[in-house]
């Protein structure tokens, strides 16, 4: 017997990362009940085998709560690191010369190995090299095929295998490493719903991943390299969803440039109809504290006001001391912002011009008609999810109930703003469509007797991409009589 859980009243989605603090079936179920709409599995940590039980626990929620579950597998991507030091660490003095070379001998205060051919191939004088999440800054003075000579602009302690960022040049490196290919194959075999590709620099980076996925999952581009900003619209066009990965973006760019870029990425993604997730350090202090800072609350609220589809917890839910409280706080912020009478106006700063298609015209009309006739919900029938994405792009004032015969589509829609997806049998006729819409609106608590709902579908039925019907329906209230099936 499923424990039916009412659709979220909150329209922004919460994506919670799972990790050591949150990988048991009991904790995953608790996070879901508390407000997590989707779960992120970070492929950077742990082995593949350990992920299988986590994926099974997430899928078990479907049987228990009668709602599709959503899983995003986040690939590590190419990690650039310096070599090792004699004694494990050294200190770089500001103003000194420091050389990165191909010599595997342990380094010291004047040199270290750099085991990345692609950097030697692309580096230019004047470019910056950022070490240890930007704590140390080197400026390239000169370079040859075997060594890069730099001046230390910001010095400090440096230890073995610390990360390296190269923000000023586009590196000729594949977005998928051998580990990523293996992890991607594993994730697709396990039936995850989304694959997130790290360190995307150009639209071409997405093509190989798209080919390897073979249509079995949706593809999300993580925007965390300055080079990606140069070709942002092309990248958004080439993927199914976007993540504003502010961690590395804030390392490679001055921190003050990240907020306007975040707004731009959200705006472009929304305009192009791609779900957009704002991620990293949103409630960072809740890793160790049961309550966030006021600044963190404001940061999360800003993403909600901007109309992001989802807000993400990283270490807060994966490895922190307060994973449940972190999700509860995200939920509370989302509910509070969306209750603000000004929320709708602030969110619609992004002007959505419909494409010259019947489906886009109907999606825009559905939003307007819902407001005019005080409808309580918009209901759409979709196979691929494209109709749902078009409607959600308009950010209507009422919730969106999506009915789909595809379980894969229902799961992928877990990151889409304002959407409650239901995996259900397809309809055969116009009359069947109207009757089923009424039943589902009642069964899922989205409408009651006397309410109006708006229904969108495509005729002929079972033809993907044919949305051409908009129908306003009044609920009588007795539509469930004699209908015991949940689908």
- HSE toward the beta carbon, residue 481, CA cutoff 13 A: 4
Active-site annotation holds for 146: no
Cα 123 from Cα 150, distance rounded (Å): 11
Catalytic residue among 8, 40, 51, 436: 40
Q: 334-357: buried (b, 16+ CB within 10 Å) or exposed (e) per residue?
A: bbebbeeeebeeebeebebeeeee
88 Cβ partners below 8 Å, 6+ apart?
159, 160
In angstroms, the CA 168 to CA 226 distance is 8
Contact (Cβ atoms closer than 8 angstroms) between residue 41 and residue 220: no
Q: Are 321 and 21 in contact (CB under 8 A)?
A: yes
Q: Is 382 an annotated catalytic residue?
A: no
CA angle 32, 34, 38 (to 5 degrees): 35
Q: At what angle do helices 25-34 and 48-65 cross, to 10 degrees?
A: 50
Give yes or no: 51 in active site.
no
Question: Exposed (0-12), middle (13-18) or buried (19+): which is 484, by Cβ within 10 Å?
Answer: exposed
What number of residues does the chain have?
A: 487
Query: Contact 316/290 with Cβ under 8 angstroms?
Result: no
Q: Which entry of 81, 151, 263, 474 is annotated as an active-site residue?
A: 81
Q: Spot the catalytic one: 13, 162, 222, 411.
A: 222
Q: State the catalytic residue, choosing from 34, 70, 90, 280.
A: 280
Alpha-carbon dihedral angle through residues 440, 446, 452, 454, given to the nearest 10 degrees: -60
40 counts as catalytic:
yes
Q: Which residues are catalytic?
A: 40, 81, 222, 280
């Amino acid at each position: 017997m499923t424990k039916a859980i009412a659709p979220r009243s909150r329209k922004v989605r919460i994506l919670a990362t799972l990790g050591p603090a949150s990988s048991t079936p009991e904790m995953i179920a608790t996070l879901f009940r508390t407000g997590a709409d989707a779960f992120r599995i970070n492929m950077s940590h742990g082995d593949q085998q350990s992920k299988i039980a986590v994926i099974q626990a997430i899928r078990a929620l479907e049987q228990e709560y009668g709602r599709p579950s959503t899983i995003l597998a986040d690939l590590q991507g190419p990690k650039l690191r310096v070599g090792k030091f004699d004694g494990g660490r050294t200190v770089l003095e500001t103003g000194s010369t420091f050389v990165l070379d191909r010599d595997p001998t342990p380094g010291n205060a004047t040199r270290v190995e750099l085991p990345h051919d692609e950097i030697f191939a692309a580096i230019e004088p004047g470019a910056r090299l950022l070490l240890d999440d930007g704590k140390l800054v080197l400026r390239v003075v000169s370079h040859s095929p075997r060594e890069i000579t730099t001046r230390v602009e910001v010095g400090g302690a440096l230890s073995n295998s610390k990360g390296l960022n190269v923000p000023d040049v586009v590196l000729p490196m594949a977005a998928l490493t051998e580990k990523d290919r293996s992890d991607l194959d594993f994730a697709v075999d396990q039936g995850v719903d989304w694959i997130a590709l790290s360190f995307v620099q150009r639209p071409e980076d997405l093509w190989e991943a798209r080919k390897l996925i073979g249509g079995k999952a949706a593809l999300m581009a993580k925007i965390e390299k300055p080079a990606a900003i140069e070709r942002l619209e092309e990248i958004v066009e080439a993927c199914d969803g976007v993540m504003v990965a502010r961690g590395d973006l804030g390392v490679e760019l001055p921190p003050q440039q990240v907020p306007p870029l975040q707004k731009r990425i959200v705006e472009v993604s929304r305009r192009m109809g791609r779900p957009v997730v704002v991620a990293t350090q949103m409630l960072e202090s809740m890793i160790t504290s049961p309550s966030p800072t006021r600044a963190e609350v404001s940061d999360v609220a800003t993403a909600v006001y901007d109309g992001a589809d989802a807000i993400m917890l990283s270490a807060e839910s994966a490895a922190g001391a307060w994973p449940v409280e972190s999700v509860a706080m995200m939920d509370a912020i989302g509910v509070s912002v969306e209750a603000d009478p000004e929320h709708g106006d602030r969110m619609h700063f992004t002007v959505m011009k419909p494409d010259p298609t019947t489906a886009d015209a109907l999606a825009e009309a559905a939003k307007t008609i819902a407001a005019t006739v005080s409808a309580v919900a918009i209901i759409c029938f979709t196979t691929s999810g494209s109709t749902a994405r078009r409607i959600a792009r308009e950010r209507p004032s009422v919730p969106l109930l999506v009915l789909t015969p595809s379980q894969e589509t229902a799961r992928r829609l877990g990151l889409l703003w304002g959407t409650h997806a239901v995996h259900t049998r397809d309809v055969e006729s116009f009359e069947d469509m109207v009757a089923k819409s009424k039943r589902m609106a009642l069964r899922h608590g989205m409408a009651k007797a006397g309410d109006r709902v708006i229904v969108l579908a495509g005729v002929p039925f079972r033809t993907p991409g044919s949305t051409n019907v908009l129908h306003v329906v009044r609920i009588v209230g007795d539509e469930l009589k004699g209908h015991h099936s949940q689908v």
